[in-house]
């Protein structure tokens, strides 16, 4: 069963010309979701991973299911002001302005092997910020893992240029 076939495309959302890839249709499909998590479990079984860091919000869904299956801890990376304890953050540039992601100061220990997970890689801004944040806390990124890659938007290339390994289960190129 191809995972890509379970992902809905919504034309012209959120603005004209954008082909939005809606992963919620994959999540609601019990077979599709199970296949997705099992493929990732198979990839990372036997790999030294101490923690999985999931980017808000859909990265929480994939990342926590994967962390559970691999028997490792899960770290939420959230937007500014959403975590209850002391945080450390990283500001990053958006097309028009800046944003900030944060995690708890005690989420990562020096030398932790961290798998960074999100549902989709597009331009890469948030993923680059998350990898920078993890590394600033002493973590080592094992790989950046995504269900969907939109290679035309350059996020994968941006991460790879920084020396990160990137994996995705499916791509949507120019379609």
- Residues labelled catalytic: 58, 95
Q: Burial code of 86-122, b = ≥16 C-beta within 10 A, e = fewer?
A: ebbbbebeeeeeeeebbbbeebbeeebebbbbbbbbb
Closest among 128, 166, 172 to 153, alpha carbons compared: 172
Please check whether residue 105 is in contact with residue 77, taking contact to mean a CB–CB distance below 8 angstroms.
Answer: no
Q: DSSP 3-state assignment of 136?
A: helix
C-alpha 166/C-alpha 156 separation (Å) is 7
Q: Is 49 exposed, middle or buried (0-12, 13-18, 19+ CB in 10 A)?
A: buried
Q: How many residues does the chain have?
A: 175
């Amino acid at each position: 069963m191809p995972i890509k076939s379970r992902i809905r495309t919504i034309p012209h959302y959120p603005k004209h010309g954008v082909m939005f890839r809606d992963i919620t249709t994959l999540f609601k499909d019990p077979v599709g979701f199970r296949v997705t998590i099992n493929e990732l479990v198979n990839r990372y079984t036997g790999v030294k991973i101490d923690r999985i860091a999931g980017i808000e919000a859909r990265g929480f869904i994939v990342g926590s299911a994967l962390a559970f299956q691999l028997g490792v801890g899960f770290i939420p990376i959230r937007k500014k002001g959403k975590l209850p304890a002391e945080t450390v953050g990283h500001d990053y540039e958006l097309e028009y302005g800046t944003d900030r992601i944060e995690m708890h100061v005690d989420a990562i220990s020096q030398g932790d092997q961290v798998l960074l997970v999100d549902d989709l890689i597009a331009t890469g801004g948030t993923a680059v910020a998350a990898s920078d944040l993890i590394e600033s806390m002493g973590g080592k990124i094992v790989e950046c893992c995504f269900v969907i890659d939109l290679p035309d938007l350059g996020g994968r290339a941006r991460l790879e240029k920084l020396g990160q390994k990137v994996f995705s289960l499916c791509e949507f190129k120019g379609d």
